[in-house]
Structure 1
């Protein structure tokens, strides 16, 4: 009897039209967990017509009272990478999330295999973001990637990716079956690409270091030319100029 599946069904029946799935790999045999995860995604698609908006792939990590070495079901980096690649193939429309649990090396590998959302400068202790120095003694688990957000953003751009801070779909009501239809038809790209450039521009203006800003401005300049629809390109250029002038919160 799967309480997790039942809870997800009840949430969607109650009107929550976007849900995320995830398995903490290392607690059980990974093949069982992996199969269950994909079966759950298939179930949501079949019953509700909307698959998972996101899938997270955390691995068990060392914590104050947990030693992952005592668990028999841990998975190595290569197996973890295969899991990420297979999820991307099996559920191509979903956003895949990887956290700072994983090292820079591991995250760099799986981003190329389909991971689309990552965190940066995360803190896992209660009230951790209010502390000037990371409070290691109260963290829920060890964080492997301790870089600043600026360092993560610069790293992504140097690898050729566009760091996006976009939340437009939620704010525009593009959720549930409306989001899924756009995603599966690949039309979501017409929103995601310009929104990524505009939100990156805001970050560069408001928070970035000099080096990150310089690299980011060049990236935005080159990526503007990759927007296929001329009207969208011109609107995006206009919004970028207004962001330069201090106006914020544009979105498609």
Structure 2
């Protein structure tokens, strides 16, 4: 904050500037993958949108690595917050335009939408460039460990999409998407400039596609409902045939057969 005020003694002291400087220090300290985002509804959305693009450009210029992800949350109802009272709230149409424009402007980044958004809203922006979504989310303290009593409410905000993870996975496959639980890049050291070079060249698809199918297979075997499993098996069988590299296709098929027989944690 003090550094920003020295650089801009008469300019607006917006939270985004402080956030940018803190992220710079983190990357200088060795963090090579960062995600950015703005909570839309707190400030004029055009300002926030421009700030996101400028931040992405800044990361590229200074560190040679753009944002790994961009999140686009909107202010939602919470214990003492009524989003209708915020003057800067955005409509569903504006939200969709923001997603579409971000995808065009930063084509290599992963784009995240959470369960803050309704099923209808999430389905709309999936078609516009969103690549990562959550399912079965809990925002209360210890919410994943045990259900919270109705008389208590420690949730950070209300969740709009209350479907279970299985329902979300089923829905995504019916829409034609491949749900992926892959974390291979982090575990293989494909982060920072190593990840970004593959992503910008389109080569990351050679890892993402088979890894998505294998991690989906693990989910289907270990956790999925019967209906979700049936849809998923058909999707995997169909998608395996589309892997262009014959050796990768054969290896992925072998790994998936091993998953059926109890082995886990395969990755390209």
Shared fold per TM-score greater than 0.5: yes
Distance 1:36 1:134, change over 3 A: farther
- 2:228 is aligned with 1:212: yes
Given the alignment, which residue of 31, 39, 54 partners 1:16? 31
Divergent runs of 4+, >4 A: 133-136
Tell me how far apart the structure 1 counterparts of residues 181 and 203 of structure 2 sit (CA, whole Å): 19
Q: Map 1:141-180 onto structure 2 (within 5 A).
A: 141-180=157-196
Gaps of 5+ in 1: none
After superposition, the CA RMSD in angstroms is 1.0
Tell me how far apart the structure 1 counterparts of residues 216 and 265 of structure 2 sit (CA, whole Å): 11
Tell me how far apart the structure 1 counterparts of residues 144 and 232 of structure 2 sit (CA, whole Å): 26
Query: What is the aligned partner in structure 1 of residue 9 from structure 2?
Result: none
Query: What is the aligned partner in structure 2 of residue 125 from structure 1?
Result: 140
* Paired residue secondary structure (1:44): helix
Tell me how far apart the structure 2 counterparts of residues 70 and 77 of structure 1 sit (CA, whole Å): 17
* Paired residue secondary structure (1:242): helix
Deviation at 1:132, TM superposition (A): 3.6
Q: Map 1:24-103 onto structure 2 (within 5 A).
A: 24-103=39-118
Gaps of 5+ in 2: 5-16
Query: What is the aligned partner in structure 2 of residue 247 from structure 1?
Result: 263
Distance 1:166 1:134, change over 3 A: farther
For residues 155-176 of structure 1, give each alpha carbon's deviation from its aligned partner in whole angstroms, at most 9, with x where no partner exists: 0000000000000000000000
Deviation at 1:138, TM superposition (A): 1.5
Deviation at 1:134, TM superposition (A): 7.6
Deviation at 1:28, TM superposition (A): 0.4
- 2:183 is aligned with 1:139: no
* Paired residue secondary structure (1:129): coil
- 2:232 is aligned with 1:231: no
Tell me how far apart the structure 1 counterparts of residues 74 and 18 of structure 2 sit (CA, whole Å): 21
* Paired residue secondary structure (2:129): coil
Tell me how far apart the structure 1 counterparts of residues 258 and 227 of structure 2 sit (CA, whole Å): 22
For residues 87-130 of structure 1, give each alpha carbon's deviation from its aligned partner in whole angstroms, at most 9, with x where no partner exists: 00000000000000000000000010010000000000110011
* Paired residue secondary structure (1:65): coil
* Paired residue secondary structure (1:50): coil
Which of structures 1 and 2 has the bigger CA Rg?
2
Tell me how far apart the structure 2 counterparts of residues 51 and 238 of structure 1 sit (CA, whole Å): 35
Tell me how far apart the structure 2 counterparts of residues 80 and 49 of structure 1 sit (CA, whole Å): 29
Tell me the TM-score normalised to structure 1 length: 0.98
